[in-house]
Amino acid sequence: MRHEVVMPQMGESITEGTIIKWLKQVGDRVERDEPIFEISTDKVDAEIPAPQAGILLEVLAGENQTVPVNAVVAYIGDEAPVAAPAAAQAAAPAPSNGAASAATRIDEADVEDAAEPPDALGIRSSPLVRRMAREHGVDLRQIPGTGIGGRITKRDFLAFLEQRQPAPVAMPAAAPVAMPAAAPSAVIEAATLPGDDVEVVPMTAMRKKIADRMVFSKHTSPHVTSVFEVDLTRIHRLRERNKRDFEAQHGVKLTFLPFIIKGVTDTLQAWPVLNASIEGDNIMYKKRCHIGIAVALDWGLIVPVIRHAEEKNLIGLARSISDLANRARAKQLKPEEVTGGTFTITNYGSFGSLIGTPIINQPQVAILGVGAIVKRPVVTDDDAIAVRHMSYLSLTFDHRLIDGAVADQFMSQLKQTLEAFQATELR
């Protein structure tokens, strides 16, 4: 008996997923709930378990292929694999314009790129289509999308371009014009020269999404960054005195990050404009603090969200951080755990960086960067020189909504909160 393996729907708004990697090959034995392939969607990367124990008989969709949810991507059964070509298909990545078998044939126009999120106007398209639109000066709102979920495909764009293109008109050749020596060249320098020793590697689906969202954020928000130096000596001492007992009692390590998040959530209560978003001409003030924490992965970056962080103490925050980070690295996060954030914190200091200017995680209006915590000689209030544990905290904010004075007042209060932590907050 043959059992279907389908592309799961990883959230209500997800209409498709990209197969990143097959963890099993045709002919392999799989157990029920054993991961058999990895997918990437608009929201999250995940390992998909086998719905049935048996032999992987046939693979219908190759790696890097995007397919709609509920489409059959493989079969599991008890008999031997159907044929050797199927095994070869599973082992080799599918061409970007390839289709699945006749049972679940997928339009090549819908698999040209990995799943992409809609833009600010709700238009779904791939980076390729958006680039072509910029080059030809085309407003994508003019093009009806025939792809999955109304996405504008390359085929849609080319058809639109062909319809609007006027008949060619012979033009006389223009005489060459001498350019001033100081004028900049209009030719973009080639990325490589003939004979250069290079390796060309396609972007992963996650990297393409990260790139697209970073460019979108920079185009959307005028980014401004303010940097404050914070004395974390008190928190360092609290942590050193309590970290062993804390881990033994609660099963997670006590890092600096729970203190930072607790300070941020307390400060956001006083400055709600930093826990907001812009919707057209309206400001949406979020009553809850859903704090995103940037987690660096070997294959990219993901931002799981601690929901209702303002209701958690240091113990609850430490547990949430450990749980989300571990499951992010194991590709076990759910779509709802990487959406809905209202403010993001990125701890680039864990790699030694002192100061950074992170990019805002849209549609949020601010992101806090935490630099490395290092010992430095500091002049105290009584003019003495002491060795203190110092860190630079950088706040990048959307200047459409947040003025510099407001951002600095937020950071000033956050600095005071962190420098005055009491031992009672560990309970």
* Residues acting as catalytic residues: 399, 403
First to last CA, the chain: 57
Q: b/e string for 303-314 if b means 16 or more Cβ within 10 A?
A: bbbbbebbebeb
What phi, psi does 16 have (nearest 5°)?
Answer: -160, 165
The DSSP call for residue 260 is: H
DSSP 141-206: GGS---SGGGPBPHHHHHHHHHHHPPPP---PPPPP-PPPTTSPPSSPPPSS-TT------PPPHH
Give strand pairing partners of 389.
375
Q: At what angle do helices 127-136 and 154-164 cross, to 10 degrees?
A: 20
Alpha helices in 251-393 (DSSP H): 257-270, 314-329
State the DSSP code for 13.
T
Contact 146, 109 (CB under 8 A): yes
- Residue 155 neighbours by CB distance under 10 Å: 16
Beta strands in 23-155 (DSSP E): 29-30, 35-40, 45-49, 54-59, 66-68, 72-77
Q: How far apart are CA 283 and CA 362, in angstroms?
A: 14
- DSSP β-bridge partners for residue 293: 345
Q: How far, rounded to the nearest angstrom, does the alpha carbon of residue 339 sit from its chain's CA centroid? A: 10
In the sheet with 72-77, reading across from the earlier edge strand, the strands are 2-6, 72-77, 54-59, 29-30
Helix (H) or strand (E) holding 368: strand 366-370
Among 326, 331, 361, 329, smallest CA distance to 346 is for 361
